[in-house]
Amino acid sequence: MSFALIWPFFISPIIGFLIGGIPTAYIVSKSVAGIDPREFGSGSVSTRNTIRAAGLWPWGTITFSVDIIKGALAVAIVEYLIAPIVETSSEGFYTQFYVILCAIAAVAGHCWMPYLGFKGGKGLGTCLGLFVYIYWSTAIFWMFAVFIMIRVSGFSGIGACWALIFISPFWYLIDTISASLGLTDLFLAFWPHIYFTNGQLGWPFILLYALGVWLVITIRHFPEFRKIKRGETKAWNSLKTTEMLK
């Protein structure tokens, strides 16, 4: 393996962590309302806490939009600027790993922001943006799964973590359909990433990325799980829609 194929393994997660760790909620809340989200509301540097501090429109919306974009931006930089131009299947295979490392690190960066003493948000907005970037239909599927699991569990964190478990089976189904029906050209036309192999995501994304992101977000939600166990958090199904944002 040449040096050109090795060095992106080291730089890709750094790029992901630093860009994913941009503290959008802190910047917006501090600039607009003079509030440090780490010392307000839930203490999370998140869209929901920004809404508490500065309102849903436009500041909460802006925060959520930037959190979605920043993970995708990090991966795009790695995919098109850092990764070598790929012409063989083996190099394309390595490029998948560069993107996976960057994407997982971007979610981790949002959860533990290096600019704020490694305090951060819950990673859900950045995770959603990465799903849109990697394969857009995944974002729709995940949001639907999150809604169902929140209804079942009653809690947003538990619902989001459970919904992530279904991403690997979903991607496996997508790959199986594309292979069995010969729809590779159709899939590539919708989202022509250079790391796709014959129009398929392949096992690195199906296993490593989906499960890696699930692990990061689940660990980040441990404090919330402990609050639920102690009875300190109200179930969402007991709240009104307006109360869910408070």
d(CA 8, CA 79): 10
pLDDT per residue as tens digits for the range 87-126 = 455 556 678 899 999 999 999 999 999 999 999 999 999 9
Confidence of residue 156 (pLDDT cuts 50, 70, 90): confident
Provide the 10 A C-beta neighbour count for residue 197. Answer: 15
pLDDT of residue 84: 65
Query: By mean pLDDT, which of 40-44, 226-230, 240-244 is the weakest?
Result: 240-244
pLDDT digits (tens, 9 = 90+) for 175-210: 888 777 777 666 665 666 767 766 677 888 889 999
Predicted local distance difference test score (pLDDT) of residue 185: 64
**Is the model's pTM score more than 0.85?**
yes
Residue 127 structure tokens: 């995770």
Residue 158 to residue 137: CA distance in whole angstroms: 22
Q: What is the pLDDT of residue 198?
A: 66
Highest mean pLDDT, choosing among 7-11, 17-21, 134-138: 17-21
Minimum mean pLDDT range among 26-35, 107-116, 152-161, 230-239: 230-239
Q: What pLDDT, in 10s, does the model give residues 119-145?
A: 999 999 999 999 999 888 899 999 999
Read off the DSSP letter of residue 86: P
Angle, alpha carbons 31-51-227 (nearest 5°): 115
Q: What are phi and psi of 152, to 5 degrees?
A: -75, -45
Q: Quick one: average pLDDT of 44-48?
A: 91
Q: Where are the domains of the chain?
A: 3-245
Higher pLDDT among residues 191 and 231, named by residue = 231
* Residues 38 and 45 sit within 8 Å (Cβ to Cβ): yes
For residue 53, what are the contacts with CB-CB under 8 A and spacing of at least 6? 29, 32, 33, 35, 37, 40, 41
Give the pLDDT score at 23. Answer: 96
Whole-number pLDDT of residue 160: 93
Cβ atoms 180, 200 nearer than 8 A: no
Q: Can you tell me the distance from the alpha carbon of 97 to that of 228, in angstroms, rounded to the nearest whole number?
A: 36
State the average pLDDT over residues 25-54.
92
